[in-house]
Structure 1
Amino acid sequence: MKLKYEVLPDEKIECCREICNELMAFQKSKSYITPELFDNMNFETRLIPSINNAVHNYTVVVKDDDQIVGYVYSNISPKEAYSNEFATFFDLSSVNRDHVGCLSQFYIKEEYRQYGIGSKLFHMSMDWIKQFDDVEDYFIYVSNGNTNALEFYKRKGFTVSHDILDGFITVLRSKREIGCNH
């Protein structure tokens, strides 16, 4: 296994089409609450609109030789982007700033799990998100049935905030740690 981590510019996002669609199929396979909602979720309906609605995007792919075996997509977006025809993901009044950070998509092929890839991608993503001083609220959305992901994020310091869509998605939240002013 020869792993390489590569930050992708937005204009190269097309190479994530297959792995993004694999994530959607994986989420559907785990889902026990309205799994049919995943039928219309794919690269075109999830990743592309998210990139277009964000102010800043950060995508990292993991390659074994030239094959993409995992990725993480994070963004900085206006908080209003999370209230749309699909759902309202959090109480907008609970966010003081104009923008939020979101670890939006995260997937590693099964045979590559348990090698620390997830932790490395998570830390790369959070380091990127935390560089934006005007963002103090960080969100992750976990689909129902994906207990391993939920526990992973909780171990990384995120706490369950609430469920939306009758439990279809669990919202996890973390806040920027405010340090002392010097």
Structure 2
Amino acid sequence: MHLTYEILPVDEIEIIRDLCNELMAFQKSKSYITPELFDSMNFDTRLLPSLKSAIYNHIVVVKHSDEPVGYVYSNISPKETYSNDFATFFDLESVSKNHVGCLSQFYIKEEYRQYGIGSKLFSMSREWLETFDDIEDYFIFVSNGNNSALEFYIRKGFTVSHDILGGFITVLRNNSSL
């Protein structure tokens, strides 16, 4: 299997539209707590606003024969970004710096899972996040029902911090060196 990993410029983000929408459908299929919240979540309502509110964005797409089969999106954002009309994702007072790192979206088509692609994408995201010396807090938000993702991130050194929205999202945190 010939796979390529490419850092995607923001102006080429459209290439992952379908993957992002598949991610939202996948999350809804796994969800057992208010799955209807995913009905309005898609590329236009989740990824694009996140790109605009972040200070720095990093998108890595993995392709099989030029076909996108997975991606990871990470960002550096003001901590206040994570307190909005939808939810307050963490106690802002618990973050000493003005900005946080976030592994925001991560998706691999089902038939490409279990080949180490997730670990490679995670490592590329982690390496990028670590280039920001002034970031101490890193977050990942896992939708309810996605136990394999939760276990994956725990194996990678993140710990469960708390749940929000009645358990709809589990917040994972790592506030030391990734």
In the superposition, the TM-score normalised over structure 2's length comes to 0.99
**2:52 aligned with 1:68:** no
Judge conservation of contact 1:130–1:176 (CA < 8 Å) in 2.
no
State the distance in 1 between where 2:65 and 2:81 align: 36
**2:156 aligned with 1:156:** yes
State the distance in 2 between where 1:4 and 1:138 align: 27
Partner residue of 2:108?
Answer: 108
The number of aligned residues is 178
Question: How far apart are residue 177 of structure 1 and its match?
Answer: 3.1
What one-letter code is carried by the residue in structure 1 that aligns with 2:98? D
Partner residue of 2:49?
Answer: 49
State the distance in 2 between where 1:72 and 1:55 align: 17
State the distance in 1 between where 2:16 and 2:107 align: 11
Partner residue of 2:120?
Answer: 120
Identity of aligned residues (%): 74
State the distance in 1 between where 2:129 and 2:66 align: 27
1:111-166 deviations in Å (ceiling 9; x for gaps)? 10000000000010011001101100000000000000000000000000000000
What one-letter code is carried by the residue in structure 1 that aligns with 2:120? K
Question: How far apart are residue 71 of structure 1 and its match?
Answer: 0.3
What one-letter code is carried by the residue in structure 2 that aligns with 1:164? I
3-state SS, counterpart of residue 58 of structure 2: strand
Question: How far apart are residue 176 of structure 1 and its match?
Answer: 2.6
What one-letter code is carried by the residue in structure 2 that aligns with 1:87? A
State the distance in 2 between where 1:27 and 1:84 align: 21
3-state SS, counterpart of residue 71 of structure 1: strand
> What RMSD, in angstroms, separates the aligned Cα atoms of the two structures?
0.9
3-state SS, counterpart of residue 11 of structure 1: helix
State the distance in 2 between where 1:54 and 1:173 align: 18
What one-letter code is carried by the residue in structure 1 that aligns with 2:35? P
What one-letter code is carried by the residue in structure 2 that aligns with 1:152? F
Question: How far apart are residue 82 of structure 1 and its match?
Answer: 0.2
Partner residue of 2:11?
Answer: 11
Partner residue of 2:170?
Answer: 170
Partner residue of 1:79?
Answer: 79
3-state SS, counterpart of residue 84 of structure 1: coil
What one-letter code is carried by the residue in structure 2 that aligns with 1:22? E
Q: Which runs of 5+ in 2 are unaligned?
A: none
In the superposition, the TM-score normalised over structure 1's length comes to 0.97
4+ runs of 1 displaced by more than 4 Å?
none
